[in-house]
């Protein structure tokens, strides 16, 4: 057994579990819970979690992508000349698609989810209703909706990326 390959794959899967799992936790546990607690508390929790969450997801995503590239190029199928990774093989194509999927997931997470969450939780004006009562402003609903949609889009892409991982495991 190649222990370096083992270590690279082990770390790749560990960080992938954190990245994908963190995203599922936010979508299916954290966000629905935030909608059920008083808005002022939800805002405090949101403001406290977001910077740490953004950094953790950024690091996890970057490690997954880098180690996925190393794993494929280092131990994936060789080309006919034996000079390196066979990008044109089915495995090579699945691997390339995986990079695109992971970059899209990263961009949605860091760009749309991160930025929208910072706007939502950072703007005092959007949270006046939390103390004054009444309904949240239209912009609040728009930002919350964008967070939900982007989170779900990420999850769909994660599922497709995971399918690519299993395909490569079986040689495709
Ligand atoms: C997007 C999130 C990702 C997740 C959740 C993920 C998850 C996983 C998992 C669970 C495995 C183990 C599969 C198995 O042994 O059955 C794996 C393997 C692997 N991943 Fe990823 N991965 C992701 C992204 C990437 C990216 C971006 C690349 C590189 C382009 C990549 C390249 C690989 C390679 C080459 C393997 C080994 C496949 C094999 O030959 O058995 N992964 N990944």
Which pLDDT score is estimated for 19?
Answer: 98
In the chain, the number of structural domains is 1
Q: Which residue ranges have their beta carbon within 6 Å of ligand 1?
A: 9, 12-13, 16, 20, 64-65, 68-69, 71-72, 76, 95, 98-99, 101-102, 105, 158, 161-162, 165-166, 168-169
Which pLDDT score is estimated for 156?
Answer: 98
Q: State how far the Cα of 3 lies from the Cα of 10, in Å rounded to an integer.
A: 10
Domain span holding position 121? 3-169
Tokens of 96: 């390339």
Which pLDDT score is estimated for 133?
Answer: 86
Which pLDDT score is estimated for 57?
Answer: 98
Residues 6+ apart with CB under 8 A from 51: none
Q: What is the pTM of this model?
A: 0.94
Residues 6+ apart with CB under 8 A from 93: 87
How high is the mean pLDDT in each 10-residue block of the chain (172 residues)?
Answer: 97 98 97 95 95 97 98 96 95 98 98 96 94 93 96 98 98 96
Q: What is the DSSP string of 106-170?
A: HHIIIIIIHHHHHHHHH-GGGGHHHHH-SPPPHHHHHHHHHHHHHHHHHHHHHHHHHHHHHHHHT
Report how far ligand 1's centroid is from the alpha carbon of 165 (Å).
4
């Amino acid at each position: 057994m190649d222990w370096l390959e083992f270590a690279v794959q082990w770390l790749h899967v560990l960080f992938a579990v954190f990245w994908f799992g963190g995203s599922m936790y936010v979508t299916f546990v954290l966000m629905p819970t935030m909608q059920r607690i008083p808005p002022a508390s939800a805002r405090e929790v949101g403001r406290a979690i977001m910077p740490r969450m953004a950094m953790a997801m950024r690091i996890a995503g970057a490690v997954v992508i880098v180690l996925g590239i190393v794993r494929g190029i280092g131990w994936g199928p060789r080309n006919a000349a034996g000079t390196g990774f066979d990008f044109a093989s089915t495995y090579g194509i699945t691997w390339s698609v995986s990079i695109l999927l992971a970059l899209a997931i990263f961009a949605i997470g860091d760009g749309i989810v991160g930025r929208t969450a910072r706007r939502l939780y950072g703007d005092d004006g959007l949270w006046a209703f939390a103390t004054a009562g009444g309904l949240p402003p239209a912009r609040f609903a728009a930002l919350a909706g964008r967070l939900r949609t982007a989170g779900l889009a990420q999850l769909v892409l994660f599922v497709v990326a995971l399918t690519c991982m299993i395909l490569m495991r079986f040689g495709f």
